[in-house]
Amino acid sequence: MAEERCRNCVYFQPHIFFPYIGYCDANEKPAHEHGTCEKFKKVSLDELLSALNRKGGVYCITCGVTIVDRSELENHSREHRVVAGIVFDEAIAAEARSAD
Amino acid sequence: MSYSELSILLGGPQGSGLETAMLMLSRALAYRGYGVLADREYFSNITGRHSYVLIAVSTRRLPRSLTYPVQLLVAMDAETIFTHFENVDVGSVLVYDKEVEAKKLTELSSMEDALRGRISNNLRTSMLGDDVSSLLKSFESRRVTTIGISYQEVLKELVERFSLDPRTLSKYVSGIVTSSAALILGLDREALRYGFESVFRGRATVVEQNMYLADLVWKELREFEGLLKLKKPEIDVEKVLVATGNDVVAMAKVVSGLRYQSYYPITPAADESFLLEKYELSEVGGTIVGPIVVLQTEDEIAAIASAIGASLVGARSATATSGPGFDLMVEGVSWAGMNEVPVVITYYQRGGPSTGLPTRGSQSDLLSSVFSAHGEFAKVVLSSGDHLDVFYDTIEAFNIAEKYQVPVIHLLDKFLANSTATLPLPDLNTVKIDRGLLSKGQEGYKRFSLDSLVSPRVFLGTPGIVMWYTGDEHDELGHISEDPVNRVRMYSKRIKKLQLIEEEVPRDIKLRVYGHVRGDFCLIGWGSVKGVALDALEVLEKKGYRGAYIEVKMLWPFPAREFLEAIDGVELKRLIAVEHSYGVNIVALISMATGLVISKKVAKFSGRPIVLSELVPAVENLLTTDANYVVLEYGE
Amino acid sequence: MGSKWVSYKSNVWVDWCPGCGNFGILTALLKAFGELELDPSKTVIVSGIGCSGKLPHFVNVNGVHTLHGRAIPFATGIKLANPELTVVVCGGDGDILGIGAGHFVALGRRNLDIVVIMHDNGVYGLTKGQASPTLPLNAKTKALAKPNIQQALNPIMLAVSSGYTFIARGYAFEVEHLKNLIIKAIAHRGAAFIDVLQPCVTFNDVFTAEFYGKRIYKLEEDRLWDPVVRRAEERPTKILKAIEKSMEWGDKIPIGVFYIDSTTPAFEERLSDRLKVYPKVSPSNSIITTVDSKPIINNELFEKIFSEFIVKVQLNKHDTTVQ
Ligand SMILES: Cc1ncc(C[n+]2csc(CCOP(=O)(O)OP(=O)(O)O)c2C)c(N)n1
Ligand code: SF4
Ligand SMILES: [Zn+2]
């Protein structure tokens, strides 16, 4: 059974590039993957499905893709690390170079 | 040990702070008197793909070229280590994030399959495992000092101490990258602070937080301080510009008196127009500079058309684009030629055909720009070899455009556009603004008077004067005329301006010769080949080959006379043309203009810049074997 | 007034087909210029390519005869760089709504103070009568081998949704009426569009002078017709009315003003919010050199203006490394 650490908690949203740090949706503050707290709720397919319904999309860290479809979520969540949300870095807009 | 020249590579996912790190490090180095040249390599992607900066640092001069292998590799992620594994020197230094040690090649979702396949093969042949820790071990056997730093711990401490918003992490990761590179190069913390301050301008807390982070890095890596210590700088400059080619063009346009710039966004041109917008109106000490109207148009056709319109009423006007956009502008260029309109097109080449390699460099639009547009008419194509030349040539482009009333294409490329360089401040005392033959007009004014090749220009809108323009053949007044006698005179007038340009444009704008022409070889090139060619001359001289570089700056009209003078007495087989293209197409222009067919060519069309370490052996190869054509491919 | 407009004619022979609607448009334009007493040196007609494109040569004000479809962007550069000028664009329906449609839309979005007069003859005249974007589906004009397989667009509706703030329709042979529309359009501050129904005697045997003569009526004859937006809140209702009116096309075809909105700032005003000295100091009248042909930016100013790029070298005095 997975440890009761932020990493395995449904409220933990990892940073897009540095996933050990993130944001906790329950405590509404920054969090670290090794953190613990009494609000811990294990990531489960049901929780992810409900996040998918609520937000329209969840994120597979392993594949680096956004999932918007229920059956795709089921596939990824079997072996991959899927999270309910990620922290998008605000530097991306500034850092990005135009392309195409 | 200390170094007078170093190659550094910083790599990480696009969007994660690399750009900021590159700027901070370049500025900190410049502050301490070092010369820097940093090439930015990135995918056509907003975020996630691998991106890197290849930097040349010198204590002896402002660097002109890049080279491999690198002595310092700073990797923000596992992909960087895998991708650049083979780019590092024996005895070099790798700084990496400890968190990625267990990462496997197969886990890197953002890597392209082709590269993954190549790396995988290489690992297999070298009998290496496919995870980062196996690579680390093999680095050790190459006497590479591998320095792991736990980004996680540093960031965690920072986030907790300053209750940072995780959305801002990248800013601090740039701080880790910059601090660790600075520490290894032996830069002091005051220089580092300067780097932070100049990038996080007016954000004192971010600077302090990054300084705190630098302290953490220093504490953690103390034993490695000065591992690649730079020697004392001996470059004789008090002030330098730290700028990209895009920045330099924009600054030069402001100085040149540009008053109208139109653009449709495209890489690698758009940054120039963004910057111009920032400087659209300046007021310093009572002097007003501007206004410059910068207009984002609906497409490139409108960009050239409106720039021509603005020129008709007397504004110095320009547009900036790259290949796909220029293709759309071509009909407008023809109109400008027909109507003798001065307009400047800053053309940043990138990898074609089509959208090709949109964020990578090339010089493959030489012929398509020289021969662009239907009909015959005078136009000028100018190129520039480095950032400082870009500055002066941008102003020269406007002077030529107005003096001869022709469209001028200033042909640059992505390498110049996006690389950040330290360069001396331009000396504006040497700069002239030549607006050509202007007049206030008189009763019966004829815009296209046949009295001289260049007819006196009255701006449209001048009181009391009325004039006509048309893309159809026209008489002296600008009214449509299909009369054959008029046609012959008008048509010839427009084309003969080319002769005038050939006669009058100073030699230095047309062509430059560096080194010993009557030595063992003579490199011939244009544009961004300059820096690496000049450095190659020096390296080759040490190897016993004396040579020259002939830089063709004005590509059209081709300076045939100057070219023939320059190579007078040189055997044809000693001439080697170098270009970022497949065809090395300068050869075609030369043979068209002079009848000489150069058979030795060095080509590079991988989209990456020619580096010194590959150009030197290529030239040696051409000098010592029967080979005629060498294709360079180095760089990821 | 009177015959003052005659002096706006140039000496160039007008080479349109006898009976072409373009003659009406040209005369209305000349009369409008005459009535407004426009300074020819401060007025520009910018045209595209096509029969209509030749118009500037027939008028004794500045003329710029440009590329097919591109009159609007040429005019945009002219107007932005010298906002003092009165700028009128003349183009065909193929020019403005076919090849140049993107520019037509862009001008509306900018609401730049330019008048666009569209010579709407339903055909590509100068290329011998192919269907233009205003020729209805299944219409078969005489140059077409088969009935038109593409639909027409509604120019008024497109102008409304693009953001034009003066939108009208005229008829080439209602010269006085058209002249008045042109005068109003020139007086309006912002992007103005006049769709001028123009019989093409040679190629369009469907939309003839006879066809229009029987159908057109003037909007202003209806005393209740009020196309003017006086307050920003009225825009949605006035827009809907204009659109509704623009769909009237059959036994009765309205001409006149469909929409006028003076509450949306013109592009010049938006620009002068950013460039404080504009439009008084503009790209065409601001100085760019000193008397001795130097740039107005000298070394000292350069360093001040571009200070963000300049690094003052501070060698590290404590550095004990050798050179
Ligand atoms: C002729 C030409 N001009 C410019 C570009 C550069 N360019 C690439 S994508 C793009 C705009 C993309 O915007 P949009 O169409 O809204 O697509 P989005 O990225 O928002 O999905 C531009 C201007 C190009 N490829 N070709
Ligand atoms: S539209 Fe482009 S830039 Fe915007 S989120 Fe999607 S991929 Fe990123
Ligand atoms: Zn997955």
pLDDT at A97: 79
Q: Tell me the three-class secondary structure of C252-318, residue by residue.
A: CEEEEEEEEECCCCCHHHHHHHHCCCCCCCCCCCCCCECCCCCECCCHHHHHHHCHHHEEECCCCCC
In percent, the amount of chain B with pLDDT more than 90 equals 97
Which of C77, C78, C284 comes nearest B262 by C-beta?
Answer: C77
Q: Is the ipTM of this complex over 0.90?
A: yes
How far is B439 from chain A, CA to nearest CA, in Å?
43
Residue A21 has phi, psi (to 5 degrees) of -110, 150
pLDDT at C102 over 60: yes
Residue B143 has phi, psi (to 5 degrees) of 55, 35
Whether A96 is in a domain gets the answer no
Distance, CA B45 to ligand 2 centroid (Å)? 9
- Ligand index nearest the alpha carbon of residue B107: 3
CB contact at 8 A, B258 and B295: no
The Cβ of residue A46 has, within 10 Å, a number of other Cβ atoms equal to 9
List of residues 6+ apart from B308 with CB closer than 8 A: B317, B332, B335, B336, B339, B341, B343, C74, C77
pLDDT at B375 over 90: yes
pTM for this prediction = 0.97
Whether A77 is in a domain gets the answer yes
CB contact under 8 A, B170 and A17: yes
Closest CA to B90 of B9, B140, B144, B126: B144
Residue B207 has phi, psi (to 5 degrees) of -65, -45
CB contact at 8 A, B7 and B71: yes
- Sign of the dihedral defined by the CA atoms of residues B243, B248, B250, B251, in that order: positive
C to A contact (≥3 Cβ pairs closer than 8 Å): no
Distance, CA A15 to ligand 1 centroid (Å)? 28
Strand duo A29-32 + A21-24: pairing? antiparallel
Which residues from B are below 8 Å from C315, CB to CB? 32-33, 232-233
Secondary structure class of B92 (helix, strand, coil): strand
Secondary structure class of B371 (helix, strand, coil): coil
Domain boundary pick from B179, B209, B230: B230
Residue B379, amino acid: K
The Cβ of residue B249 has, within 10 Å, a number of other Cβ atoms equal to 32
Secondary structure class of B38 (helix, strand, coil): strand
Which of C12, C43, C64 would you mutate first to test chain B, the one with the most B CBs within 10 A?
A: C64
Closest CA to B569 of B518, B513, B512, B514: B518
b/e burial code for range B607-632 (CB count within 10 A of at least 16 → b):
bbbbbbbbbbebbbebbeeeeeebeb
Q: What is the pLDDT of residues C181-225, one digit of tens each?
A: 999 999 999 999 999 999 999 999 999 999 999 999 999 999 999
- On whether both B300 and B405 belong to a single domain, the answer is yes
Distance, CA A100 to ligand 1 centroid (Å)? 7
pLDDT at A93: 87
Closest CA to B151 of B58, B238, B217: B217
Q: What is the DSSP letter of C209?
A: H
pLDDT at C1 over 60: no
- For the segment C122-137, the average pLDDT, to the nearest whole number, is 96
Which of B12, B76, B355 comes nearest A100 by C-beta?
Answer: B355
Q: What is the residue whose two structure tokens read 């070889």?
A: B521
Whether B625 is in a domain gets the answer yes
Cβ pairs bridging A and B (under 8 Å): 112
pLDDT at C141: 95
Rounded-to-integer distance, Cα B630 and Cα B619, Å: 9
Q: Token pair for residue B285?
A: 């000490």
pLDDT at A46: 96
CB contact at 8 A, C53 and C92: yes
pLDDT at C317: 85
pLDDT at A98: 76
Which residues from C are below 8 Å from B332, CB to CB? 67, 70
CB contact at 8 A, B612 and B539: yes
Domain boundary pick from B461, B488, B505: B505
- For the segment A37-64, the average pLDDT, to the nearest whole number, is 94
Q: What is the pLDDT of residues B288-321, one digit of tens each?
A: 999 999 999 999 999 999 999 999 999 999 999 9
Nearest atom within ligand 1 for CA of residue B266: 6
- On whether both B41 and B100 belong to a single domain, the answer is yes
Burial zone of B467 (CB within 10 Å; 0-12 exposed, 13-18 middle, 19+ buried): buried
In percent, the amount of chain B with pLDDT more than 70 equals 100
pLDDT at C2: 63
- Structural domain boundaries, residue A22: 6-90
Instruction: List C-alpha distances in Å: B392 to B36, B389, B506, C286.
Output: 20, 5, 13, 22
- Structural domain boundaries, residue B461: 437-505
Q: Which CATH number fits domain C4-269: 3.40.50.700, 3.30.300.30, 3.40.50.970, 3.40.50.2300?
A: 3.40.50.970
**Helix or strand run (H / E) with residue B7:** strand B5-13
Which of A21, A90, A91 comes nearest B159 by C-beta?
Answer: A21
Rounded-to-integer distance, Cα C31 and Cα C170, Å: 15
CB contact at 8 A, B82 and B404: no
How far is B26 from chain A, CA to nearest CA, in Å?
16
CB contact at 8 A, C291 and B431: no
List of residues 6+ apart from A68 with CB closer than 8 A: A52, A56, A57
Higher pLDDT, residue B1 or B420? B420
Q: What is the pLDDT of residues B609-632, one digit of tens each?
A: 999 999 999 999 999 999 999 999
CB contact at 8 A, B407 and B343: yes
pLDDT at B586 over 80: yes
pLDDT at A95: 83
- Sign of the dihedral defined by the CA atoms of residues B158, B160, B164, B167, in that order: positive
Distance, CA B319 to ligand 1 centroid (Å)? 17
- On whether both B535 and B478 belong to a single domain, the answer is no
Nearest atom within ligand 1 for CA of residue B355: 25
CB contact under 8 A, A17 and B44: no
Whether A22 is in a domain gets the answer yes
- For the segment B445-467, the average pLDDT, to the nearest whole number, is 98
- On whether both B492 and B556 belong to a single domain, the answer is no
Whether A98 is in a domain gets the answer no
- Sequential DSSP letters for C72-120: HHHHHHHHHH-TTSEEEEEEEHHIIIIITHHHHHHHHHHT-S-EEEEEE
Which of B232, B395, B459 comes nearest C321 by C-beta?
Answer: B232
- Lining ligand 1 with CB less than 6 A are A 100; B 264-266, 300, 324-325, 328, 355
pLDDT at A99 over 90: no
CB contact at 8 A, B191 and B25: no
The Cβ of residue B286 has, within 10 Å, a number of other Cβ atoms equal to 5
List of residues 6+ apart from B594 with CB closer than 8 A: B560, B563, B564
- Searching chain B, which residue's CA lies closest to the CA of residue C60? B466
Nearest atom within ligand 1 for CA of residue B265: 23
**Structural domain count of chain B:** 4
Rounded-to-integer distance, Cα B124 and Cα B136, Å: 15
Closest CA to B579 of B313, B298, B364: B364
Q: What is the DSSP letter of B424?
A: E
Q: What is the pLDDT of residues B75-93, one digit of tens each?
A: 999 999 999 999 999 999 9
CB contact at 8 A, B375 and B407: no
Residue B618, amino acid: A
pLDDT at C323: 61
Residue C198, amino acid: Q
pLDDT at B353 over 80: yes
How far is B353 from chain C, CA to nearest CA, in Å?
25
- On whether both B420 and B442 belong to a single domain, the answer is no
Q: What is the pLDDT of residues B139-150, one digit of tens each?
A: 988 999 999 999
Whether B486 is in a domain gets the answer yes
CATH number of the domain bearing residue B79:
3.40.920.10
- Sign of the dihedral defined by the CA atoms of residues A72, A75, A77, A82, in that order: negative
Question: Could you tell me the pLDDT band of residue A94, with boundaries at 50, 70 and 90?
Answer: confident
Domain extents for chain C?
4-269, 277-322
**Structural domain count of chain A:** 1
Write the Ramachandran bin of B516: left for phi over 0, alpha for psi from -120 to 50, otherwise beta: beta
Among B47, B266, B271, B329, which is best to mutate for testing ligand 1, by the most ligand atoms less than 8 A from CB? B266
Question: Could you tell me the pLDDT band of residue B238, with boundaries at 50, 70 and 90?
Answer: very high
Does residue C147 have a cis peptide bond before it, meaning omega lies within 30 degrees of 0?
no
Whether A100 is in a domain gets the answer no
Domain boundary pick from B193, B209, B230: B230
- On whether both B34 and B172 belong to a single domain, the answer is yes
- On whether both B36 and B131 belong to a single domain, the answer is yes
pLDDT at C279: 97
CB contact under 8 A, C82 and B460: yes
- For the segment C121-136, the average pLDDT, to the nearest whole number, is 96
Whether B335 is in a domain gets the answer yes
List of residues 6+ apart from B585 with CB closer than 8 A: B364, B366, B367, B579
Rounded-to-integer distance, Cα C89 and Cα C68, Å: 13
CB contact at 8 A, B179 and B192: yes
- On whether both B529 and B485 belong to a single domain, the answer is no
Closest CA to B255 of B384, B509, B401, B432: B432
- On whether both B194 and B256 belong to a single domain, the answer is no
Instruction: List C-alpha distances in Å: B457 to B312, B317, B339.
Output: 9, 15, 11
Question: Could you tell me the pLDDT band of residue C322, with boundaries at 50, 70 and 90?
Answer: low
Rounded-to-integer distance, Cα C115 and Cα C187, Å: 10
How does the average pLDDT of chain C come out, rounded? 96
Distance, CA B113 to ligand 3 centroid (Å)? 17
How does the average pLDDT of chain B come out, rounded? 97
